[in-house]
Amino acid sequence: MKALKIKVHCLAWLLFILLHTKLASPTLLKYIPKLGVLRGINIFQNPSENLTSSEPKSDLKTLYYDQTLDHFNYNPESYLTFPQRYVLNFKHWGGGGGAAAAPILAYLGEESSLDDDLRGIGWLSDNAHRFKALQVYIEHRFYGKSVPFVSSEDALKNATLRGYFNSAQALADYAEILLHIKEKLSAKTSPIIVVGGSYGGMLAAWFRLKYPHIALGAVASSAPVLYFDKITPSDAYYSRVTKDFREASESCYATIKRSWAAIDKAGAKRNGLAFLSKKFKTCKPLKSVSELKDYLENMYTVAAQYDRPPNYPVNQVCNGIDGASQGTDTVARIFSGIVASRGKKSCYNIGEFFSDETLNGWGWQTCSEIVMPIGIGKNKTMFPADPFNLKEYMDSCENSYGVVPRPHWITTYYGGLDIRVVLKSFGSNIIFSNGLRDPYSTAGVLEDISDSIIALVQKMRQIEVNIVHAWILKYYADLLQISEHNEIKFSL
């Protein structure tokens, strides 16, 4: 009877928050560039093949886990559950039985639908056969098909419900699902290696620190774990983007730098927005000049974040800008850069870089806990000056969501300050890998912290595999030693 009363109470509470909680209308902030793993590179022509998973869909098994809404409270409503999606691939799985149970490679989802990531997470599919590993892909709560109770849009408008949308809850989700998988597959001794990129890379590193009893190690790719609490200079991100473009072409860099004023001038004229809409072949008429400028900023930053072989998006953009015929004006050269990188199209969708779900979800996350003070310094980059102003940022978030960000929470909960001293004392088995052209590498761990907290900045893939292999072999050896010790103990 008591259990029934609690269940009724929970359902009543859920109905109440869905019907009566004040709905907010989020206003997206431009300060913090999106982190996502592969959505950006897919915008450019001929995305890099070595990033794409080669596993056929037939090898993937989609499942749902009844996930706890709130892992950190014991109110009756905390025990409500929602279906969280995860995907398994058994193709190379060596099984979970015996003293040397095969490993589990687990991808920790980030700020997007799992559908976006399954097409491009090559680390698991490329290396599963080496380890005879089970591949696990887990979707982040509030993204894709793992949104509690309502649609993604409605969930983010609900002040009570979105309070459960944070990284700590997400890590606890991953812990529950991984333990559930090990139990169901009788894989108690299978070592788990967690993998993630960008925001997911941060999650992988944090997961190893928070749940070392579950994850043997973590591969954290392009994880800007130091872009908090002024550890990294505010303008480091945009300075690195600028450096990438300037190294590719001085003339391209100069054209982009002067283009902002040229676009402002064109837009200020009579019928200026109509002119720019036609000039840039936008699929929908521009509502403001800033809409176009934000699109171009996204194009340049995404190009820099994914500037890798074989196509090198920065070069694609610059080849278009520099390759325009002699006498072409600045604005037209910028459009040539779009065509060169995106291909010839009847029109260009200026909102295509990230889905609304990602933009809205990331907007909430950066307005609550993921507060990266990223700004643009005056005269230091190819972008118009836009320094980070914490007060303006907090006011904007409060206006959008009714709450203010917690700018010091990430370093309080996960650390980051004095990271070399702190992690050397207690951390282990984390690989931080960064491509130095990625602007988020400016906030990554670029030097080894200890023998087992390794920083890699080039020729990373095979070295990563070798390091992970060594972790697993040591784990098996330790497991065998403990087993032999227990046998001797009990025989006595």
Whether domain 235-342 has CATH 1.10.760.10: no
Helix axis angle for 250-268 and 289-305, nearest 10°, is 160
Yes or no: say if 275 and 286 are a contact pair by the CB < 8 Å rule.
no
pLDDT band at 52 (very low <50, low <70, confident <90, very high): very low
- Homologous superfamily assigned to 60-229+412-483: Alpha/Beta hydrolase fold, catalytic domain (3.40.50.1820)
- pLDDT at site 309: 86
Residue with tokens 């390091």: 467
- pLDDT at site 350: 87
Yes or no: say if 44 and 316 are a contact pair by the CB < 8 Å rule.
yes
State the average pLDDT over residues 368-397: 95
Res 31 pLDDT > 70: no
Q: For the ranges 18-32, 317-331, 374-388, which has the lowest average pLDDT? A: 18-32
CA-to-CA distance for 12 and 15, rounded, in angstroms? 5
Query: What is the layout of strands, in order, in the sheet containing 134-138?
Result: 60-68, 81-89, 134-138, 104-108, 192-197, 217-221, 430-433, 453-456
Whether the pTM exceeds 0.85: the reply is yes
State the average pLDDT over residues 224-231: 97
Where exactly does CATH 1.20.120.980 map onto the chain?
235-342
What is the 3 state secondary structure string of the chain? CHHHHHHHHHHHHHHHHHHHCCECCCCCCCCCCCCCCCCCHHHCCCCCHHHCCCCCHHHEEEEEEEEECCCCCCCHHHHCEEEEEEEEECCCCCCCCCCCCCCEEEEECCCCCHHHHHCCCHHHHHHHHHHCCEEEEECCCCCCCCCCCCCHHHHHHECCHHHHCCHHHHHHHHHHHHHHHHHHCCCCCCCEEEEEECHHHHHHHHHHHHCCCCCCEEEEECCCCCCCCCCCCCCHHHHHHHHHHHHHCHHHHHHHHHHHHHHHHHHHCCCHHHHHHHHCCECCCCCCHHHHHHHHHHHHHHHHHCCCCCCCHHHHHHHHHHHCCCCCCHHHHHHHHHHHHHCCCCCECCCCCCCHHHHHHHHHHHHHCCCCCCCECCCCCCCCCECCCHHHHHHHHHHHHCCCCCCCHHHHHCCECEHHHHHHHHCCCEEEECCCCCHHHHHCCCCCCCCCEEEECCCHHHHHHHHHHHHHHHHHHHHHHHHHHHHHHHHC
Q: What is the mean pLDDT of the chain?
A: 90
Res 395 pLDDT > 70: yes
- pLDDT at site 100: 78
- pLDDT at site 172: 98
- pLDDT at site 45: 46
Res 490 pLDDT > 90: no
pLDDT tens track for 202-226: 999 999 999 999 999 999 999 999 9
- pLDDT at site 48: 34
- pLDDT at site 119: 75
- pLDDT at site 122: 87
State the average pLDDT over residues 473-488: 85
- pLDDT at site 39: 46
pLDDT band at 353 (very low <50, low <70, confident <90, very high): confident
pLDDT tens track for 286-323: 999 999 999 999 999 999 999 988 889 999 999 999 99
CA-to-CA distance for 357 and 351, rounded, in angstroms? 12
pLDDT tens track for 124-167: 999 999 999 999 999 999 999 999 999 999 999 999 999 999 99
Where exactly does CATH 3.40.50.1820 map onto the chain?
60-229+412-483
